[in-house]
Amino acid sequence: MEIQLINGVFTIEEAEALLTAIFKTKIAFHEQRIKTIHESEEEIEHSEKKIIQLEETLRNAIKKMKEKGQTHTSLNAHIEVNTMSRLTQ
C-alpha cells in the first residue's frame, strides 16, 4: 500500500517547517527507542547513528533549498507500507 504524504508547492519557509516537523518526528522515534526499549548496545548505536544522519540530511536539504535563491519549492513524498510475518533486517 502506498500513502501519498506530501504533494504540493510550498514557500521555502513552509517547506522548511514541514520537513523539520517530519524529521523531528522520526528523530523522536529513535530517541524514544533508546530510552524505553532495552536494546543491545549495537541497536542503540544504530539509532544514535540514524539520528545523526537524519539531522545532517535535514540540514543539507534546507541549505540546498535556500541557496537556489528561489521563493518556492515542490515537495512530493510517499510512504510504502508492506506487512510481513516477522522482523527482517
> Which letter, b or e, does each residue of 40-68 get, where b requires 16 or more Cβ atoms within 10 Å of its Cβ?
eeeeeeebeeebeebeeebeebbeebeee
* β-bridge partners, 9: 74
Residue 89 has pLDDT above 60, yes or no: no
pLDDT of 87 higher than 80: no
Delimit the domains of the chain by residue range: 2-80
Residue range 24-82, pLDDT digits in tens: 999 999 999 888 876 688 888 888 999 999 999 999 999 999 998 999 999 999 999 99
**pTM of the model as a whole:** 0.83
* Helices of type H across the chain: 12-36, 41-67
